[in-house]
Structure 1
Amino acid sequence: MELGQLNMLEALVLSWNRLIGKIPQELTRLIFLAKLNLSQNLLVGHIPRGLQFSTLKNDSFGGNLGLCGPPLSKKCGMSDPSELDEEEDSYFASGFTWESVVIGYSCGLVVGTITWSLMFKARKPKWVVEFLEGDFPKKMIRAQKRRLRQRT
């Protein structure tokens, strides 16, 4: 709300900040505001009307599915089923979700376990099998003893 007191502010870009709630009415007091970008947040409610807000375009508020009123085509108090489809599309297009991480981790775990068991059945690479069965440390101790004997 303190932003409404910045009388000389010409541009305000707050996109992708996960802002929650309503757009404060105090922002309509910014008479020099030429550019406002509140897109891709979690804002809800009516877009305030007033001075510079009447000159703003749709893209200033894009991605805030809870906003309504001019300049958006969504009327307040009505729900549009096509917007639900857009929300679902943006959910999958936004990148990795926890479900995809779990699926990837599970697949990697299965492939790794199968590869690991096949490697032990084939006894290759030999040094890994020897190390895990306990033969490798014994060979290292013998080699160290040989080196000590050679030095003396």
Structure 2
Amino acid sequence: VVAFITFIGSMGNIPLAALLFGKGVSFAGVIAFIFSDLVVFPVVRINAKYYGWKMAFFILMLLFISLVGASLLLHYGFLSLDLIPDPSSVKVQDQSFFKIDYTFFLNIAFLLGSGYLIYLGFVKRTDVMQMKEMAPKSKLMEKGLKYIAFVCYVWLAGGMIVKYFMQ
């Protein structure tokens, strides 16, 4: 549920999963959290845009049931082989190192490429046939989803304020 609402992304899921495991979340819960990239709010909206809401919810439920099943299977499989690590041994360290290496230059290249694509998509619009949607949008649904996303952002910002300024 947390991953669905917040959409941290793959790079943020692993450190957060380690932190959750160290704070007492079960192994199955941590595995489900890591797998949850496929059942997040933006992906559901994209599926709904192309396939319609009925199919988007079907895909969501199919992935969710698979996620829960796989997590429980891994949990009890590891438990039966006594392979679940000790949560007290998990140590999350704050590491952030800035280096000028190949990733720096790749990030610059992808930033330039993204800027060019944004320029093509928003500034230099052409009259060529634009890609059409496969399923029509509901104005009411889009407005509702916009407000739900706004509430999620306010919730996240409120949590950050409480965490960092109200201690």
* TM-score after normalising by structure 2: 0.21
Greater fraction helix: 2
* TM-score after normalising by structure 1: 0.22
Computing the radius of gyration over CA atoms, which structure comes out larger, 1 or 2? Answer: 1
Greater fraction strand: 1
